[in-house]
Amino acid sequence: MADISAISPELLRDRHRLSPQQINAILGSKVFKASVEEKALMLRGIREFILLSEAFQSADIRFIPLKGPILSYRLYGDVTYRHFRDFDILIEKSSVDNAVKMLLAQGYNPDLVLWPSDIRRQNQLMKHGNQISFSHPERKVTVELHWRLLQASPYGNERLDNLVWSNLTNLDFAGRSFYVLSHELELLYLIIHGGLHYWRRLKWLADIDAIIIRNKIDGAKFSDLAEELKANRMISLCRAVHSTYFPGTEVKFPWKSQASGSLVVHSFKKIAEEEDIEHNTIGGIIRSRYHTLISFPGLAYKFRVIRNYMFVAEFYRGSGILTRVPLFYFYSLFKLSFNRIKR
C-alpha cells in the first residue's frame, strides 16, 4: 500500500480534506496556489470563533476549543493552515443549559436535536450523548457543543470528565487566553477520535504527524493517560495507519502491542473509499458498529456503547414515539433498504 504522497493532490484536497498548504508541504512542491476566496472565508470563520469565545467568557462559561482553528494555530502557527468546517466546544456538564441559551441568543438554531426544557430529559440526553449541534442561518457557521470528550469510554462519565479538566494548559491567541488540552491528552484525543472514525480522512493523520514532528510529548505522561483510558488498541491502530501513510516520520512516544486485524482492515478500507461516507449500507453499519465495540476492551465499555445506540437523540423531541428502539431501527432499516432498491 502506497504512502500519502502517492495519492492524487485532488483526492487529498476533496476527499481527505487536507488544505493546499498541507498538500504542498507533503508533496514537497507547490501543487496548489493559495485561494484568496478560501482564505477570506476562513478568516470570517476565525472572526466568528472570536465572537463566540467572547460570548462564552461573558456568560462565565469555562470552555475548551477542540480541533478547529486553535489546533491549526497550535500545530502550524497559522489558524488557516488546516481546514475546519465547524467549531467543537467542550464545556462542563453543569454549564450546558446556560450555553444553549447563550447560543440561541446569538442567533444559532439547533440542528437535529432539540435541547429539552425538562431537567430529567436534559440528564437523559447528557447521559447517552456527548454533544448537540447548532447552526447560524446567516453566518453559515456550525457549533458542536460537547459536554463530554467521548460519547463512551471504558470508565464512567464522571471519571472521564475529571481526567479532562485536570489535564489542561493555557494558549494565548489573538490577545486572549484559552484553555486547551495538555499536549499529551490532545494527542491521545486525536488518536482516539481518528480511530473511532476509522481514519477515513487523512487530514486527521496529518495532524498526528505534525505533533510527532514537533516532539513536545512527555512520553511517561502520555503512557499514564493511555493506561487510564485503556487506549492501547486505538494507539496501535494509529501506529499501523501512520506507518503506512507517513513512513518517514520517526515515532518517539510509546506504542504498545499490535493493532487488531479487524480494526486495521476496516480502517484501510474506509481510507481507500472514493467518497467520505461513514456508511451507506446495512453491512457497512454493522461493520462500523463492530469497529466501535472493539475499539476499547471491557464489557462495561461495550454496554455503554450499546446503551447509547439504543438512545436515539435525533428523534428526541418530546413525545418520542420513534425513540422506542424497535420502531426506530425497523424504520431506519426499511428506509435504507428502500433507498438502495430505488438506485
Q: How far apart are CA 340 and CA 327, in angstroms?
A: 20
What pLDDT shows up at residue 326? 46
Instruction: Extract the C-alpha cell encoding 203.
Output: 487530514
In a domain, 144, yes or no: yes
Sheet holding 131-136, edge to edge: 63-66, 86-91, 141-146, 131-136, 109-110
Q: Is 342 exposed, middle or buried (0-12, 13-18, 19+ CB in 10 A)?
A: exposed
Q: Which residues face 143 on adjacent strands?
A: 87, 134
pLDDT by residue (tens digit) across 37-58? 888 888 888 999 999 999 999 9
In a domain, 11, yes or no: no
In a domain, 297, yes or no: no
What pLDDT shows up at residue 96? 96
Q: How far apart are CA 131 and CA 342, in angstroms?
A: 33
Residue found under cell 428506509: 335
What pLDDT shows up at residue 156? 83
In a domain, 270, yes or no: no
In a domain, 24, yes or no: no
pLDDT by residue (tens digit) across 269-299? 999 998 888 777 778 888 898 999 999 999 9
Residues spanned by the domain of 87: 35-181
In a domain, 127, yes or no: yes
In a domain, 310, yes or no: no
What's the CATH number where 47 sits? Answer: 3.30.460.40
Give the dihedral sign, CA 120/121/127/131. negative
In a domain, 107, yes or no: yes
- Residue 322 pLDDT > 50: no
Looking at the structure of the chain, the number of domains it has is 1
Q: Which of 32-36, 197-201, 243-247 has the lowest mean pLDDT?
A: 32-36
Q: Is 278 exposed, middle or buried (0-12, 13-18, 19+ CB in 10 A)?
A: exposed
pLDDT by residue (tens digit) across 12-26? 999 999 999 999 999
Q: The whole model's pTM is what?
A: 0.90
What pLDDT shows up at residue 331? 52
- Report percent pLDDT > 70 for the chain: 88
